Chain A
Amino acid sequence: MSDLISVVDWSRWQFALTAMYHWLFVPLTLGLSVIVAVMETIAYKNGSEQINKLVRFWTKIFAVNFVCGVATGIILEFEFGTNWSNYSWFVGDIFGAPLAIEGLFAFFLESTFVVVMVLGWGRVSKKFHLTSTWLTAIGAMISALWILVANAWMQYPVGMTFNPDTMRNEMTSFWSVALSPVAINKLIHAVTSSWALGGIFVIGVSCYMMRRRRETAFALPAVKVAGWVGLTGILITCMSGHSSAVDVSRTQPMKLAAMEGLWNGGNSTELVAFGILNPEKTYANDVDPYKFKIGLPGALSWIARGDSKAFIPGIYDIIDGRDEVNGEPVNTVSYAERMERGAAARAALASYAETHAQADLDALHADYPYFGYGYYTDAADLIPPVGLTFYAFHIMVLLGGYMVAFFVVALLLAYRADRWLKTLGASWIGMLSIVAAWCCSQAGWICAEVGRQPWVIQDIMPTRAAISALSASSVQLTFWLFAAVFTMLLFAEITILFTKVNTEK
């Protein structure tokens, strides 16, 4: 068992490392493509040579990032086949369709037109070039859509039925999978937050250029365009974050409780604006969960359920099957019952393999929604890492709030007092804000993925059942190989990017 846990942990570390490395490039691709497309549209409309130069410069930066990001996501698919083979087989049918569409359509669209966007200047008409730039941006968004659809299904599995003969979840409704509210909110949240990240990147680099290279006339329009795109992006991100919180309270209440460090729920639950958790708090003791906190009374109830007096269940309430909406009890199945029913579902699956009896099939389907709970006998093992989820969520929210203020101030300065943007302070704030934007984006994913533990598919498959029969040492070896290769590649890529920013005429 300890070797199994070790394999699971190392495989999770490896997947996190790969996904986080991949996510360094994806949001910048999503953000920069839209910013460049908006710049080029302005240049096309007013024929400004100044903006045209700007478009060409940022297209080159986009190209560097695009090439650096290429193929970093494919490694995740390798890991599915090697480390997570049970999971891979179990979801093959559901994942196959979105990932095939992503590969065939979206990536093809993106890759075809990115060449025209980057190298087509003077070889194609301005109109076709502009169309190619927009199609590259749209292609990147469609790529993101299908990956996020697949991820959302893991958080909220819908539109499928389990076939015990093939041991696969088979899609019964493509549209239920593609248009699940979790997928839509995830798409909006991830894409628009990437516009904000792209906006901060452009503003940060522009401030650096104004300070270092004294190129105000060149860089200032970029601050304005990136400021508007980024502000639009971050405001939509805030709104979709609210919708996501409503989804999470409905579909993954344990994650919401972990995000807030909420062990005991209640009515008029506060939102922790700032807090330090007590590391001694566990499921088995009743020490105060917080060392310190500043809360906004009733805010969590309002955000999650639209009523500042609504009941929000804490970790203990969820485990005990205690929750209510408008005074009516909901989600009343306790974790003890879920574990019992999950074990019954697993036993029915084993029995069905021997007998192929209808009674076993019926028993399996009746308890299948709790299948994953059958791997546990202690409810404490079903609680996600509260500390990591709590801090990741609060870092994301704090930095998201900072980004709103950043764009407002950047736009005010760009229009009213641009001399401040040329100062050393602005250059430093701009560069540090780029780092903050990436931390915000990564923290969001940490919150989403750690907060749903122990599930790889919510309620149905825990990470420990998803893993292949591997030795921990083989996963450790590939983890360190990846870490070394990624570090070298990242160093090379950042060097290329800095050289381009510093030398590009």
Chain B
Amino acid sequence: MIRRITSFYAYALRKSVASPTGRRLWIVLALKISILLILFKVLFFPNRLRTDYDTDAERAGAVRTALTSNR
């Protein structure tokens, strides 16, 4: 069963790159993943609370300070 499923998805992959549209779509997908999901995420979109603080207690403290300060 698992072999049949694996072989089907392998066939689907081969078939998807066989047509010009399929190849173009793979290129768009690869560009999107590399630019948006990898490049932007790493360079511009850190999870601020996760990177700036070590523990959940510190993160809660930072949010508390932000929400109770004058803004």
Binding site for B on A (CB under 8 A): 1, 4, 60, 63-64, 67-68, 70-72, 74-75, 78-79, 81-82, 85-86, 88-90, 115-116, 118-120, 123-124, 164-168, 346, 349-350, 353, 375, 464-465, 468-469, 474, 477-478, 481-482, 485, 489, 492-493, 496, 499-500
Contact = CB atoms under 8 A, between A and B. Distances in A.
Contacts of A86: 63, 66-67
A256 B14 CA distance: 53
Contacts of B50: 81
Interface of B: 8-9, 11-12, 15-16, 21, 24-25, 28-29, 31-33, 35-37, 40-41, 44-50, 56, 59-61, 63-64, 66-68, 71
Contact of B60 (A75, A85, A89, A469): A89
A59 to B, nearest CB: 12
Given A64-B21, A89-B59, A115-B12, A481 B44 contact: yes
B67 A67 contact: no
Contact of B48 (A375, A468, A482): A468
Contact of A88 (B28, B41, B46, B49): B49
17 contacts: A4-B71, A64-B25, A67-B28, A70-B32, A74-B36, A86-B67, A115-B12, A116-B8, A119-B12, A123-B11, A167-B64, A167-B67, A375-B71, A465-B66, A477-B44, A478-B40, A496-B21
B36 A75 contact: yes
A90 B21 CA distance: 44
Given A120-B12, A496-B24, A67 B71 contact: no
A349 B16 contact: no
A321 to B, nearest CB: 26
Contact of A81 (B12, B29, B46): B46
Given A71-B37, A485-B36, A78 B45 contact: yes
Contacts, number: 116
B60 A165 contact: yes
Contacts of A75: 36, 40
Contacts of A477: 44
B49 A85 contact: yes
A474 B48 CA distance: 13
Contacts of B32: 70-72, 489
A384 to B, nearest CB: 20
Contacts of A349: 64, 67-68
Contacts of B33: 71
Contacts of A468: 48
A166 B45 CA distance: 24
Nearest to B28: A492
Contacts of B36: 71-72, 74-75, 485
Contact of A167 (B31, B46, B47, B63): B63
Contacts of B66: 86, 465, 469
B50 to A, nearest CB: 7
Contact of A79 (B11, B45, B68): B45
B37 to A, nearest CB: 6
Nearest to A371: B67
A478 B44 contact: yes
Given A71-B36, A123-B11, A499-B21, A465 B60 contact: no
B49 A78 contact: no
A478 to B, nearest CB: 5
A473 to B, nearest CB: 12
A469 B24 CA distance: 40
Nearest to B41: A78
A349 B46 CA distance: 28
Contacts of A60: 21
A84 B24 CA distance: 35
A82 B37 contact: no
Given A60-B21, A86-B67, A493 B47 contact: no
A68 B59 CA distance: 36
Nearest to B26: A67
Contacts of B37: 71, 74
